[in-house]
Structure 1
């Protein structure tokens, strides 16, 4: 078999996996027709427990899906109603550092697109590199730096999934960012204070190690405001799939190179848990008001 034939076969196989996974999920949807997909990061999965008349679908039941192995990730889809709209939520995601190839990491994004969603809300927990931020802030992602060392689109392209060279100039939808900013003042935390939103550039690294002081200085110098180990591959796949994206980072710790202190995943989840009321309030308001 020639190299070009091999490439065509690989692309067709990946496209077939997307179709098979989507068909299985569709068989479980009942009367639901999700229009918004949500990917919930570390410590932020509780929003999935607020879905009305929910249908739960563990990842391990879905053809070709990997398993989420990270603490704080439930590892299932939740399908149902949120703010009057049909949604499909990922309680937990897959990461490059878990040992999965990039194409396996982003498989759910293509499946969600195949199911017919047009909007994807992607959330994560990240370290704040901007000195104006503080732990517990929420940051709207305006752009990203792909520092993972890989790209999920490397390899043969399936034109049914997207074009060979997708545009990334508006990977994070400007209208959605503006809407989230407009909604923020009405969001209250358990302390009664309104939500103050930050905005900035997310630097995506491979992990699973946290960054060294010199790495953080480099990322901040390059323009990063927050750093984390997810999201960037998924947004690349979402742009390839022509989905509109809203990205939100929960700043769980300050990652300033000159002032770096030891960090554990348990600390990250703890701060994300404290921030949940404002995070959930913002996402619910966005789902309610977004024009799809």
Structure 2
């Protein structure tokens, strides 16, 4: 049996539970620590979804840190998320890659889920590439398709669960940031063009991602409802990171790998499961990796693309 907590420990625990966010100094402490422990100066950040951590392995001249070793960093607890931050070069561009992200359903408040995004901003990152494994709501989508995200529906946000809730720090962004331009239009065009160049244009779709809280997969009624709302794919991540990235003024590109078809028929015997998601990600990740690597090659500094 562990000894009872001291008054000091109880006070610290209460303080942590009452927190509504990190301080600017804590973000800067983490950014400074990372910059002091690597010579890489990333301009592009990549967030890997379930089963898509192979993107990090593409980086050259790697310097990697386990999340547990980084000051203030949360820990990833989901299978398929390695929990490493990797610095390196990809096609001549300095990048930082999250092999594993954080989720609302893991019990983290959204200001912890999105912590790395503001750290990236303070490190000099200009563009964030978010990837995820998603269920296909659009009946024209097939497993293995790659959806270029053109917009999102933030269902937890409808209930007031927003990473920007609480005091606003103007050093990061305005109190009321717009989201009508969340996913960079020029990069979206570039992705579609590159998909055609690489010969798998039939896999490239463009659609709306719907973010839910998870961790359970959706009911049939929920899938039908979301599809009628205009969602083409559904998952349990991404939207919170995008909201914070845009609040910070970062440019965003989003890609969903369709790893399972959402169950929309009451006569169907199919059910979604995480093992299926990971396997589908493994089978099709090579296409997404090639796409991301080529896009990064074409991205110039100072928010330009060629």
2:168 aligns to what SS in structure 1? coil
Aligned partners of 1:35 and 1:118 also within 8 Å:
yes
Unaligned runs of 5+ in 1: 1-9
Aligned partners of 2:21 and 2:112 also within 8 Å:
no
Which of the numbers 181, 186, 202 marks the counterpart of 2:197?
186
Deviation for aligned residue 1:186:
2.6
Aligned partners of 1:48 and 1:91 also within 8 Å:
yes
Which residue pairs with 1:251 in the alignment?
258
Are residue 22 (structure 1) and residue 58 (structure 2) matched? no
Which of the numbers 217, 220, 229 marks the counterpart of 1:222?
229
Cα distance in 2, alignment partners of residues 100 and 11 from structure 1: 12
Which residue pairs with 2:4 in the alignment?
none
Q: C-alpha offsets along residues 36-66 of structure 1, whole Å, 9 cap, x if unaligned?
A: 0000100110121121110001111111111
Aligned partners of 1:11 and 1:157 also within 8 Å:
no
Larger radius of gyration between Structure 1 and Structure 2: 2
Cα distance in 2, alignment partners of residues 14 and 246 from structure 1: 27
Q: When the two structures are superposed, what TM-score results if normalisation uses the length of structure 1?
A: 0.92
Q: When the two structures are superposed, what TM-score results if normalisation uses the length of structure 2?
A: 0.88
Cα distance in 1, alignment partners of residues 118 and 264 from structure 2: 36
The number of aligned residues is 280
Cα distance in 1, alignment partners of residues 148 and 204 from structure 2: 7
Q: Considering only aligned residues, what root-mean-square deviation do their CA atoms show, in Å?
A: 1.7
Aligned partners of 1:12 and 1:158 also within 8 Å:
no
Deviation for aligned residue 1:11:
7.7
Which residue pairs with 1:123 in the alignment?
131
Which of the numbers 191, 208, 211 marks the counterpart of 1:204?
211
Cα distance in 1, alignment partners of residues 198 and 81 from structure 2: 25
Cα distance in 2, alignment partners of residues 186 and 244 from structure 1: 23
Matches within 5 A, 1:155-174: 155-174=166-185
Which residue pairs with 2:292 in the alignment?
283
- Structure 2 vs 1, CA of residues 53 and 158 (structure 1 numbering), >3 Å: closer, same or farther? same
- Structure 2 vs 1, CA of residues 13 and 50 (structure 1 numbering), >3 Å: closer, same or farther? closer
1:117 aligns to what SS in structure 2? coil
Which residue pairs with 1:94 in the alignment?
102
Aligned partners of 2:192 and 2:201 also within 8 Å:
no
